[in-house]
Amino acid sequence: MKALKAEDVSDALRHSRGARVDEDVVPKFTTGERVLTRNLHPVGHTRLPRYVRARHGTIRCDYGVFIFPDAHGMGEGKKPQHLYSVCFTAQELWGPGASAHDRIYLDLWDDYLDPA
Amino acid sequence: MNGAHDLGGMHGLGPIDREIDEPVFHAEWERRCFAITVAAGFLGQWNIDMSRYARERMHPAEYLNTSYYEHWLHGLQTLLVEKGLLTEEEIAARMLELAEEQET
């Protein structure tokens, strides 16, 4: 096992890798498309909050291909896929008592979404 | 997982307390906890998503009653033990040693 030495710390931190993956993966959705989030309750790691499951939203933009945390966090590989900014109305998430003007944007992966 | 970390929409916790000129660390142990966690990550035994998952698995009652870097410390201990780098007994023995040093 390789331990980090004190003299290598700043280099290691400067060159640490991000979650973006340089791989050609076909996106499932395009900007402006309506989507329905899946009603998932995995016992493992997920980045899909409870309040945004089985909710309708709109793809605002496609960030590109990223590591899928739900697989990566369980030691199941990177499962690279597209990550989007998805727009939800406050009322879709929090009901008719929420503001009619507010929007909430969440960064969501392909595996969380179905076409609406 | 549907753990205590997924707080969105929960009522009753009161307003978020915003500190003016909030320091990066509120105590020296937090600085150490951060550094040790990052350094241990370079051992290559786990990735950042596994670190998050280790924190999320804290018991919900304990999670809500502890601070951000206590979650980090708990997660690090979980990973160190799960990967076989330390045992619970070794951690407990070292804590006892440190406590005795402080007393003298």
ipTM of the complex: 0.93
Does A3 map to a domain?
no
When scoring A46, A91, A92 by the number of chain B Cβ atoms within 10 A, the one with the most, hence best to mutate, is: A46
Which of B2, B38, B49 is opposite residue A41, by nearest beta carbon? B2
pLDDT surpassing 90 at residue A16: no
* Contacts for B46 with CB less than 8 Å, ≥ 6 apart: B54, B79, B83
How high does pLDDT run on average in chain A?
96
Q: Which domain covers residue B98, as residue numbers?
A: 28-103
Q: Considering its fold, how many domains does chain A have in total?
A: 1
Give the Cα separation of A4 and A20 in Å (integer): 24
When scoring A72, A106, A109 by the number of chain B Cβ atoms within 10 A, the one with the most, hence best to mutate, is: A72
Beta bridge partners of A87: A58, A105
Considering only CB atoms, which chain A residues are within 8 Å of B39? 3-4, 9
Residue B58 pLDDT class (50, 70, 90 cuts): very high
Does B61 map to a domain?
yes
Q: Considering its fold, how many domains does chain B have in total?
A: 1
Q: What CATH number has the domain bearing residue B68?
A: 1.10.472.20
Question: Rounded to a whole number, what is the distance in angstroms from the first to the last CA of chain B?
Answer: 44
> Between A44 and A18, where is the model more confident?
A44
Does A10 map to a domain?
no
Give the Cα separation of A16 and A14 in Å (integer): 6
Residue B61 pLDDT class (50, 70, 90 cuts): very high
The pLDDT of residue A1 is: 81
Judge: A45–B42 Cβ closer than 8 Å, yes or no: no
Does B87 map to a domain?
yes
Q: Which domain covers residue A58, as residue numbers?
A: 18-115
Residue B85 pLDDT class (50, 70, 90 cuts): very high
pLDDT digits (tens, 9 = 90+) for A70-105: 999 999 999 999 999 999 999 999 999 999 999 999
Q: What CATH number has the domain bearing residue A46?
A: 2.30.30.50
Does A32 map to a domain?
yes
- B48: closest chain A residue by CA: A73
Does B20 map to a domain?
no
Does A27 map to a domain?
yes
